[in-house]
Structure 1
Amino acid sequence: MRKLIIAFSAGLLLITNLLHAQQKLGHVNSDAIFTNYSEVKTAATAAENFGKTKQAEIDKMVNEFQAKLKTAQDKQKTLTAANKDKLTKELGNTETELKDLGGKIEALRTKSSKDVSDKQNELFAPIQKKVADAIAAVAKEKGLVYVFDTSKSQGNNSIGYYNPSDDITAAVKAKLGIK
């Protein structure tokens, strides 16, 4: 009987310790944070203005292309037997210019797209880091081990913070014999 009471007490003590050892979880909606964060609005405005500048460069080149094309079309309407050789040569040169300009426009569009993307990364990366650092700081203050991001843009299930000491990757690798 005494052994049964000791075993029961030990089991009760073990269960109590397990209940106290439960890890605390939290959640955050990063969409709500980013939507209301003034630095995000400032960065978005700067990115939008940068994009408009790049689009203006493209529009200028497209307008140049359209003007040359219209000039060529107008010249083609004046084609007669008397000016056929001269005009055919001019139109051939204009066609080459238009092809070159079309290639430049496409190259500028590609470069502008990359530039805008790079600018957005440059503007938003520090803000994302600030938000991630704030989430980690609050999680540590509250003793949370994991914080899930419940925002729709993150798929309602991303981990916004985790305690690195709970990472079992190395143990799983070792169990599988992966070095």
Structure 2
Amino acid sequence: MKKFIICAICAICGLTASAQSQAKFGHVNTQEIIQAMPEFNTARTEIENLTKQYEADLKMMQDELQKKGEAFEKDQATLPDNIKQRRQQELEQMYQKIQQSYQDNQQALQKAQQDKMQAITTKVLDAIKKVGTEGGYVYIMEMGAGIPYISTTLSTDVTAQVKAKLGLK
């Protein structure tokens, strides 16, 4: 009876060990993947171009404000009070319009960047899920997520496989 219990315990321990050894874990560097994607470079270029356009528009508005401000200062002494007040109000409205444009541009840039990165991130996550499903992985962990330690001997780097799924080198 003792031999039977010892054999049963050994068999259970062996099954547990073999089940654990079959579990596959992977790790991936999504930053490396995203930076290798042509969509990322295109998105970055589009955002940079949009930023330059917004900056040029604001510069043009600021230049116009400065010209009108200088003209007002030059003519201020000779203007009647009602025209002086109206021009001061115009200058204030132009300044407020510039401030509002700057805020609107910042929000538009942020939204454009989020939209473009969301599409890229979704594509990468879909590829990771496919690699995980096809490879029988229990878990694929992000390497750059501030994880203090990932065992590279017990975990497989699937970055190259995900890149291959996306058609990247």
* 1:105 maps to amino acid: I
**Number of aligned positions between the proteins:** 146
Alignment of 1:64-79 (within 5 A): 64-76=64-76, 79=77
Q: Is the 8 A contact 1:40 1:127 kept in 2?
A: yes
TM-score by length of 1: 0.74
The answer to whether structure 1 residue 117 and structure 2 residue 110 are counterparts is yes
The answer to whether structure 1 residue 133 and structure 2 residue 131 are counterparts is no
Structure 2 gaps of 5+ residues are 149-169
Alignment of 1:1-179 (within 5 A): 3-22=1-20, 23-76=23-76, 79=77, 83=78, 86=80, 88-151=81-144, 154-156=145-147
* Larger Rg computed on CA atoms: 1
Return the alpha-carbon distance in structure 2 between the equivalents of residues 91 and 117 of structure 1: 39
Q: Is the 8 A contact 1:69 1:98 kept in 2?
A: yes
Return the alpha-carbon distance in structure 2 between the equivalents of residues 156 and 70 of structure 1: 57
RMSD over aligned CA atoms reads 1.8
Q: RCO greater where, 1 or 2, for CA within 8 Å and sep 6 or more?
A: 2
Q: Are the structure 2 counterparts of residues 59 and 156 from structure 1 closer, same or farther at C-alpha, using a change threshold of 3 Å?
A: farther
1:113 is displaced (CA, Å) by 1.0
Identity %: 27
Return the alpha-carbon distance in structure 2 between the equivalents of residues 58 and 156 of structure 1: 42
1:112 is displaced (CA, Å) by 0.9
Q: Are the structure 2 counterparts of residues 72 and 36 from structure 1 closer, same or farther at C-alpha, using a change threshold of 3 Å?
A: same
Structure 1 gaps of 5+ residues are 158-179
Q: Secondary structure at the match of 2:141?
A: strand
1:156 is displaced (CA, Å) by 3.8
1:139 is displaced (CA, Å) by 1.5
Return the alpha-carbon distance in structure 1 between the equivalents of residues 102 and 28 of structure 2: 38
Deviations 1:25-54 (A, max 9, x none): 211111111122221101111121122222
Return the alpha-carbon distance in structure 2 between the equivalents of residues 101 and 20 of structure 1: 74
Q: Is the 8 A contact 1:47 1:123 kept in 2?
A: no
